[in-house]
Amino acid sequence: MLNSRELRIILLLQEHDLSGEDLAALLETSRRTVVRDIARINGLLRSESIGSIESVKKYHLLVLNRANLNRLLTQSNHESVLVLLNLLVSPNITMGELIERTFMSRQSIMNCIEKINRQYAKILKIRLRPRIGISVSVNHISKIDILAALISDDHQLVEKRFKLINQSEDLARIRMIVKQQIPEKMFDYLTDSQLSAQIMACTLISKDNTVIMKSTLYKVLLKSGVPHLQSATLAVFFDAKKQLLNHMTIRQVQLAVRATRSRYTLAAFNHSFVNEIFKHLCRSAMFPTIAPASLSEQISYLKVQNPFAFDFAFDLSKKLQQCFESVQIDDEYIALYVLHAIESPTARNVRTLMYATQQSVANINKMIITQKISNIDIEMVFSKEQLESRLNYINYNLVIGNGVHPNDLQLPINFDSTFNGVISLDELEHLKSLSSESYIQKNLSSFLPKSHFYHAPTKYINVNQTLKAGLTNFAEQGLLTNDQSKALLAREAAGNQLVLNHVSLPHASTELSDAYKVFAITFDGIMKIDGNPIYLILIVLANEKRADSGQVFSYLYTRLKQLSNVQLQNVDTYETLIKYLK
């Protein structure tokens, strides 16, 4: 059976290859411990015909049998589930009692508690309290909700360990009574199996309720022979669910989306998006979904590719949580809905405005460009007034000129490309590069000039202080505005930091003349964000009018993931950084 650290090594290597130094830093342990853990993991993987962890430059998880790997991960998760089940059912249980009930060692239990606190940090916290016992505190939802989710995921484990379920009133009869007494609309968001899991959870966490019960559900359950404590717990739980659903309106979601959207330029947040979010919240209200640890590992790549979409989801989740205090709202789940909304075929097209002096030549160029560059849409204008009007009301990814020099227009417009006559092959390749990675590479020195490189001469306590010092330096040179500095600091203070391969990536969408501005801050020593060592800070400002603002993050992801810890720690000059990023 895998312990907590070994399980995390496999989850990390499922995401991408890592060096021994990377793993040691992420696990906050020594290289020697990592080597020992991987040797043990390999023994287990080979004995189960799963595969192995190979080591060349970095550790790589080679999977030969995916089904066997999934089975192993499930078995290893049982220990943590068993510990959490006992803590939910028995408040303030002592360590000795927990050892006796689970047949696990104290160290194994402590490993499980550490894993649970990390995996479920958003919804619960386990604390060891001397002379009192081990307690669990929860946020937004109830212990019954968490227990029901665990039962739903692993029904057999719960039945095996807690015989009380088999001694309770007939489950089917209780389920029928509950379904008859609660509103039918609740079952738009609640399945029969989830209802059964909730009834089992109520049975296991039945508690004395001294309040005189006036609930119809309580009276019917009691009359049918269900014990008082169980009837009271069921009635309180399902009456609360009914009231919660009755107070939820789609208008609240609309207002939250509208308030959040005002700070972003992401498109496609229409009624359909609002409706999907509302239905998701209703489902979460009736039966909270506890996100598996694997989800965070899986979407980390998506977050790097689409940081502003995840920023939007993070801010929207905070506003939704204020509206729906008793609903568990996971910003990573909300981010998946955001990505689905913005990743339509039209959202992926490069929207281009072409200003031309000759309509016939412009039509030929349009046909050539759209045939050679499949993801580009072109709208044409033929007068200065039309050009100015379109740019005032529509955000375009690219603005190109055919047959005119930009200076002749006497307008504050930055053309991405200009050419005369029929577009040449070289000019066509240049235009194609504007929507590809080569555009970032070619213009990297423009986005990140030497003046944007700063080494903090003072050793600060944390990353935020170092960031603030660097931003102050850049602002004093007139390289960014105070508003841009405040936006960056506010984003980091909100706790939604983007970290890639030990590089902190503060970012903001703002008004710019160019596509991006990138700044670098280096410092002496090592700082941490959420326990992860940070060797470099790269600040990214993206033009708020560009729909493809995530392009630079995809480029940085490709470059940074190839760098080792030693290379990152040795970035002490602008020239070294540019060499690594190009």
Task: Using pLDDT thresholds of 50, 70 and 90, give the confidence band for residue 165.
Answer: very low
Between the CA atoms of 22, 27, 30 and 31, what dihedral angle is there, to the nearest 10 degrees?
-40
* CATH superfamily, with its number, for domain 447-579: Mannitol-specific EII; Chain A (3.40.930.10)
Please tell me the CATH code under which domain 348-436 is placed. 3.40.50.2300
Residue-wise pLDDT for 306-321, tens only, equals: 788 888 999 999 999 9
Classify domain 2-63 at the CATH topology level: Arc Repressor Mutant, subunit A (1.10.10)
Using DSSP's 3-state secondary structure scheme, residue 9 falls into helix
Give the C-alpha separation, 577 to 580, whole Å.
5
Specify which residues 398 forms β-bridges with. Answer: 352
User: What pLDDT shows up at residue 383?
Assistant: 81
Average pLDDT over the chain reads: 83
Question: Is the pLDDT assigned to residue 57 strictly greater than 70?
Answer: yes
User: What pLDDT shows up at residue 268?
Assistant: 57
Question: Is the pLDDT assigned to residue 38 strictly greater than 70?
Answer: yes
Give the C-alpha separation, 137 to 128, whole Å.
11
Residue-wise pLDDT for 267-286, tens only, equals: 556 788 898 899 889 989 99
**What's the pTM?**
0.67
Question: Is the pLDDT assigned to residue 126 strictly greater than 90?
Answer: yes
User: What pLDDT shows up at residue 344?
Assistant: 45
Cα end-to-end distance, the chain, whole Å: 44
Domain chopping of the chain, boundaries: 2-63, 248-341, 348-436, 447-579
Residues 150, 87 contacting (CB under 8 angstroms): no
Give the C-alpha separation, 168 to 165, whole Å.
5
Residues 339, 312 contacting (CB under 8 angstroms): no
User: What pLDDT shows up at residue 166?
Assistant: 46
Task: Using pLDDT thresholds of 50, 70 and 90, give the confidence band for residue 436.
Answer: low
Fold match flag (348-436 vs 447-579): no
User: What pLDDT shows up at residue 293?
Assistant: 57
Residue-wise pLDDT for 402-418, tens only, equals: 876 656 666 777 788 88
